[in-house]
Structure 1
Amino acid sequence: MTTGRKKTAGADTSQAAPGAPASPASLASRHDRTERLDSHVLEALVGYNTRRAWSMISAVFSERMAPYGLKQVDFSVLSLLGHNPGATSRQLCSTLDILPPNLVSLVATMDSRGLIERRPHPRDGRAVGLHLTPAGEKLVHEAEQAVVQLELEASAKLTTRERDTLIKLLQKIYL
């Protein structure tokens, strides 16, 4: 009589029946797969650590901004316009490091959603200033509150001083 279990080099390679208790060998096998790998080289890299932190925050950001229909770049543009009424597309591209063609479609989408409006620039007759509509102001106010809260949650293991230091250090890299 066979049990359907196959042993190879001391490892249990069988699958337990659904609901059946796991054998000690299968638990050990699962443990081996979840054991922490030596990542000391990666963990000494600024980019790796930044990417890992960004991945965690980005996932929560996407989840929390879904009800507002905003992606990260949308939020950034709306926030900038909320605090800098009349900013031009050129200023937004420069500040956010966005290519102009990418911003054109983004602005068109926000305009069609009734979140922004274009007005002649008061000092440059060739430029157009971008302004939030009342609906855009309401949306950016709510979205900013949600983002501030998620950032506080994401950095809860840091003291206020550590959080401020982290932000300043990261800014030294890209400013």
Structure 2
Amino acid sequence: MTESRPVRHSSPALPVAPQPGADPAPVGLAVERVDTSFLEALIGYNARRTALTIISHFLPRMAQFGLRPVEFSVLTLIGHNPGITARQLCATLDLQPPNLVGMIKGLEKRSLLEKRDHPSDRRAQGLHLTEEGSAILEQAQATALALEVEATPRLTPLERVTLIRLLRKVYRPDH
């Protein structure tokens, strides 16, 4: 007599956990093909795998500028927002202030940015790119745009725009 199990109905977009009591894999058999279907149905897994792919292209290409991903982000925000404060950078990039302080000192030491008195807050300093910082950022941003296309060859330009829009909906609820 065969045991009847209830049928599970679920959306194909949602992962389905193995049913308790499911037959375990036979002992002693090698896995021929790894089943990643559950993980591939998770946004976090896919986002992380995508990030790792992009970063594997990003790191070697940004090495010529001596920039890590977070430094690139900081310089980009300063370049597009001259006078931005460290507090604003921390809030925008979700950075801890002690981590940013050392990074800013390092970028200052490399003559890529400078601090200037803030026009309306005597306690704050605005951050500005130097000429050298602007030149490096311009090259680095062009490199970043090119490497993203190279890292995602199976996406059309419209699919890239759609993917970015969808990802932003996850981390920016106001969009």
Tell me if TM exceeds 0.5.
Answer: yes
Task: Note if 1:139 corresponds to 2:136.
Answer: yes
Map of 1:5 onto structure 2: none
Task: Count how many residue pairs are aligned between Structure 1 and Structure 2.
Answer: 144
Task: Note if 1:157 corresponds to 2:154.
Answer: yes
Deviations 1:18-59 (A, max 9, x none): xxxxxxxxxxxxxx9894311110110101111111111111
Deviations 1:84-118 (A, max 9, x none): 00100000000000000000000000000000000
Please report how far the alpha carbon of residue 152 of structure 1 lies from its aligned counterpart in structure 2 after TM superposition.
1.2
Unaligned runs of 5+ in 1: 1-31
In structure 2, relative to structure 1, the CA distance for the partners of 1:34 and 1:120 (3 Å cut) is farther
Q: Residue 162 of structure 2 aligns to which amino acid in structure 1?
A: T
Calculate the TM-score normalised by the size of structure 1.
Answer: 0.79
Of the candidates 63, 67, 74, which is equivalent to residue 64 of structure 2? 67
Map of 1:78 onto structure 2: 75
Task: Note if 1:148 corresponds to 2:145.
Answer: yes
Map of 1:114 onto structure 2: 111
Q: Distance in 1 between matches of 2:30 and 2:130?
A: 53
Q: Distance in 1 between matches of 2:107 and 2:31?
A: 44
Please report how far the alpha carbon of residue 124 of structure 1 lies from its aligned counterpart in structure 2 after TM superposition.
1.3
Map of 1:25 onto structure 2: none
Q: Name the SS for the 1:125 alignment partner.
A: coil
Q: Distance in 1 between matches of 2:161 and 2:55?
A: 19
Map of 2:86 onto structure 1: 89
Identity, % of aligned positions = 51
Please report how far the alpha carbon of residue 161 of structure 1 lies from its aligned counterpart in structure 2 after TM superposition.
1.6
Q: Residue 133 of structure 1 aligns to which amino acid in structure 2?
A: T
Which has more helix, going by share of residues?
Answer: 1
Calculate the TM-score normalised by the size of structure 2.
Answer: 0.79
* Bigger-Rg structure (1/2): 1
**Runs of at least 4 residues off by over 3 Å:** 32-36
Q: Distance in 2 between matches of 1:133 and 1:34?
A: 56
Unaligned runs of 5+ in 2: 1-28
Of the candidates 152, 162, 167, which is equivalent to residue 164 of structure 2? 167
Please report how far the alpha carbon of residue 155 of structure 1 lies from its aligned counterpart in structure 2 after TM superposition.
2.0
- What RMSD over aligned residues (CA atoms) do the two structures have, in Å? 1.5
Q: Distance in 1 between matches of 2:106 and 2:33?
A: 44
Please report how far the alpha carbon of residue 158 of structure 1 lies from its aligned counterpart in structure 2 after TM superposition.
1.0
